[in-house]
A and B are shown apart, each in its own frame.
Chain A
Amino acid sequence: MSSTTIAPARQTVRAAERVAAARRHVSMGETLAQTMTMAWRAVKKMRRNPEQFFDVVLQPILFTAMFAYVFGGAIAGDVESYLPLMIPGILAQTVLTTCMVTGTQLREDMEKGVFDRFKSLPIARIAPLAGPMVADLLRYATAATLTFSMGLLMGYRPGGGVTGVLAAILLAILTGWSLAWIFTWVGTIAKSAQAVQGISMMILFPLTFLSNAFVPVGTLPGWLAAFVRVNPVSHLVTAARDLANGALVSTEVAWTLLACLVVVAVFAPLSVRSYKRHI
């Protein structure tokens, strides 16, 4: 630190000019740019901590194999005929588990000093929350692609062809991103990262297991079937099945998109509000 003093020949700072030039609000364009910068930060972080990718890589592989051989015989008679039913289910499940991590990671991140600086900068309050979620699209894409690849390896031949499968993957990514706002909100309200984890689990389990992801609804008792039918994850699973297995864009796609929209509209503002309050 030999030449710490600020070089002299620079323009002096004039407060009055700065006050006059200051803007009172962040524009949409700025918000977007700031979110992308935050996403850049999150991607850097992922690359420096590759263990963050373990879950999105291992889970689709393990779960596909496990579920196919454990439940395949019991539910569909044989593994091959269970795959078209199961792969879209695993798709929904891995994407959901992936977005659950969003809340925990946000919480851990928020405890770090750098969030103090984010708060003291003239940036949109939503950018530090939305940035990591944009970066998480990479994780959803990895999880979704691996799930289908695993299925293909095990003998799954999706009737919807490449287009159908890609559409199913896209829908799953979009749903994951939307549902992640719920976990982001949990991340901003809970007291600690551990608490976030606990609460998120409690949200995640009914969402994935009380859906038609692995079990045909017909086999369930009435009251359970009722919940399974309104669960947005069921809509995603059915929509993804129709897309992947028949390239069929059913009304289930519309229901899924609507559910996503509602979730984002409710939980994004809630998250920003509680982030602002967070000391």
Chain B
Amino acid sequence: MNITEPGTEPAVRAEGLVKAFGEHRAVDGIDLDVRAGEIFGVLGPNGAGKTTTLRMLATLLPIDAGRAEIFGVDVAADPHVIRQLVGVTGQYASVDENLTARENLWLFSRLQGIPSARAKRIADRLLGQFGLEEAADKTLAHFSGGMRRRLDLAASLITRPPLIFLDEPTTGLDPRTRGQMWDTIRGLVADGCTVLLTTQYLDEADQLADRIAVIDRGRKVAEGTPDELKTAVGDSTLQLLLAEPGEVPAAVEVVRRVLGSDPVLSPEQGRLNVALDQADRAADVLIALRTAGVSISSVSVAKPSLDEVFLALTGHETDDRTDVEENR
């Protein structure tokens, strides 16, 4: 095992990761470079291979091809060492339903060799940090989804691992709890941890991540800072619904003339999404459309969504594959 100066070794370096389930390549040659001390976001729609990638890096699934190192330690060769370096919070809460919150934290501490008295103190501290004191001695049957999620994250932090994996940490949380989760994640990095998280939300990746990899159908389709990605799709999107679907070619022509780029046609009849680098360019487009006599039945300006990032990067829609819901 090589020991290098802190900060020089990347937290994660993966090359050509592959995982196949039968014929289906869920992860099909993904490279990742996560620097120590950053929040790295893996962004992708349902079934993109986010969970599978994390599970391979966390030694929960064997790597079919390619290789991965965490802080310079080979994942396939030294799984026991990797498990001491990585705290994993999976997509589905991995805490014990039969135990109370306090007992859960005590159990996981003891399993990692922490003496009982210290395990109790750690449990108290984490319960406090995650606002779970009141529910501490209830079994998890009485817990809400958000409480479970918090307990799950708390359980991953017991030994204060230098690298933390968070698989969709805020999916299903209400906006307030989600904001608190974001603060917690930022706090981890302030403590010196590195965070690798997955998300389906562009705004979450934007708010949290220093760098983002966009994956789709098991492949990485883009990588960069949130700003770099957003410039690829524009800062905001002008969504137009034409009164006459037949006027779409005319509208495309106008947009091209005003902005120098093509709008994205939505599968819905007569709907166009126009990427804008500045929101106030919307007015220019609208005026030009009026002058050209293209009538519009509805208009809105919105932040680009994951769907649009996808359309821009891959040229196809994010296809919802609901069958992935059951998979772990």
B80 in contact with A113 (CB, 8 Å): no
Pairwise interchain contact B99-A120, C-beta atoms closer than 8 A: no
Q: Is the CB of A18 within 8 A of B94?
A: no
Is the CB–CB distance between B98 and A6 below 8 Å?
Answer: no
Scan B161-178; emit 1 where CB is below 8 A from any A CB, else 0: 111000000000000010
The one of A24, A114, A117 in contact with B78, judged by C-beta atoms closer than 8 angstroms, is: A24
Given the interface pairs A4-B181, A30-B113, the reply to whether A19 lies near B72 with Cβ below 8 Å is yes
Interface residues of A in 189-210 (CB under 8 A from B): none
- Per-position 1/0 for B95-137, Cβ under 8 A of A: 1111100010001101111000000000000001111000000
Q: B9 interface residue, CB < 8 Å from A?
A: yes
Q: Which of B189-197, B201-209, B302-310 contacts A (4 or more CB under 8 A)?
A: B189-197
User: Taking CB as reference atom, which chain B residue is nearest A277?
Assistant: B62
Segment at the B interface, from A44-52, A84-92, A139-147, A154-162 = A44-52
- The digit string for A105-126, where 1 denotes a CB below 8 A from any CB of B, is 0000000111111111111000
Distance to closest chain A CB from B297 (angstroms)? 43
Which of A7-15, A56-64, A166-174, A214-222 contacts its partner?
Answer: A7-15
A/B pair count, beta carbons within 8 Å: 159
Inter-chain contact A22/B81, CB cutoff 8 Å: yes
B188 is an interface residue with CB less than 8 A from chain A? yes
Asked whether B328 is an interface residue with its Cβ less than 8 Å from the other chain, the reply is: yes
Asked whether A18 and B84 contact (CB < 8 A) given A114-B96, A116-B328, the answer is yes
B112 touching A122, Cβ below 8 Å: yes
B43 within 8 A of A: no
Q: Which of A33-41, A177-185, A250-258, A263-271 contacts B (4 or more CB under 8 A)?
A: A33-41
Contact B36–A5 (Cβ < 8 Å): no
Please, how many angstroms separate the alpha-carbon atoms of A13 and B183 in the complex? 18
Given the interface contacts A120-B83, A123-B111, does A16 sit within 8 Å of B95 by beta carbon? no
- On whether A15 and B194 interact (CB within 8 A), knowing A7-B129, A37-B107, A117-B155, the answer reads yes
Chain A CB within 8 A of B60 CB: yes
Inter-chain contacts of B180 with A (CB < 8 A) = 1, 4
> Known contacts A18-B84, A117-B88, A279-B61: does B162 contact A123 (CB below 8 Å)?
no
What is the CB-to-nearest-CB distance from B174 to chain A, in angstroms, rounded to a whole number?
11
Smallest Cβ-Cβ distance to B177: which chain A residue = A1
Tell whether, in the assembled complex, residue B192 and residue A37 are in contact, meaning their CB atoms are under 8 Å apart: no
B107: chain A residues within 8 A (beta carbon): 37, 40-41
Shortest B113–chain A CB gap in Å is 6
A12, A26, A117, A119 pick with most chain B CB within 10 angstroms: A117
* Given A1-B180, A4-B181, A8-B190, A117 contacting B80 (CB threshold 8 A): no
Distance between Cα atoms of A164 and B250 in the complex (Å): 98
Q: How far is the CB of B149 from chain A (nearest CB, A)?
A: 10
Q: Are A37 and B103 in contact (CB under 8 A)?
A: no
Is A127 an interface position by the 8 A CB rule?
yes
Report the Cα distance A20→B1, complex, angstroms: 8
The answer, among A6, A20, A37, for a CB contact under 8 Å with B187, is A6
Residues of B within 8 A of A26 (CB): 80
Taking CB atoms, residues of chain A closer than 8 Å to B192 are 12-15
Instruction: Say yes or no: is B214 at the interface (Cβ < 8 Å to chain A).
Output: no
Residue pair B80, A122 in contact (C-beta under 8 Å)? yes
Which residues of B sit under 8 angstroms from A2, Cβ to Cβ?
131
State the Cβ distance, A35 to closest chain B Cβ, in Å. 10
Give min CB distance, B135 to chain A, whole Å.
11
CA distance A49 to B183 in the complex (A): 38
Instruction: Please report which residues of chain B, range 288-320, place their CB below 8 angstroms from some CB of chain A when the two chains form the complex.
Output: none
| A114, B111: Cβ atoms closer than 8 Å | no
CB <8 Å contact, B112 and A120: no
Shortest CB–CB separation between residue A166 and chain B, in angstroms? 32
- The answer to whether A23 and B191 touch across the interface, beta carbons within 8 angstroms, is no
Question: Is there an interface contact between A116 and B184, defined as CB atoms closer than 8 Å?
Answer: no
Q: CB distance B60 to A116 under 8 Å? A: yes
| A114 touching B181, Cβ below 8 Å | no
Q: Are A120 and B58 in contact (CB under 8 A)?
A: yes
Chain B residues with CB under 8 Å of chain A are 1, 3-6, 9, 11, 36, 58-61, 71-73, 78, 80-81, 83-86, 88, 90, 92-99, 103, 107-108, 110-113, 128-131, 139, 146, 150, 155, 160-163, 177, 180-181, 183-184, 186-188, 190-194, 328
Can you list 9 residue pairs at the A/B interface with Cβ under 8 Å? A1-B130, A1-B146, A4-B131, A15-B192, A19-B72, A23-B80, A44-B98, A120-B94, A122-B112
Known: A115-B94, A117-B90. 4 other contacts (CB 8 A): A4-B181, A15-B194, A116-B88, A116-B94
Sorted from nearest, which 4 A-B pairs have the closest CB atoms? A1-B131, A12-B192, A6-B187, A15-B162
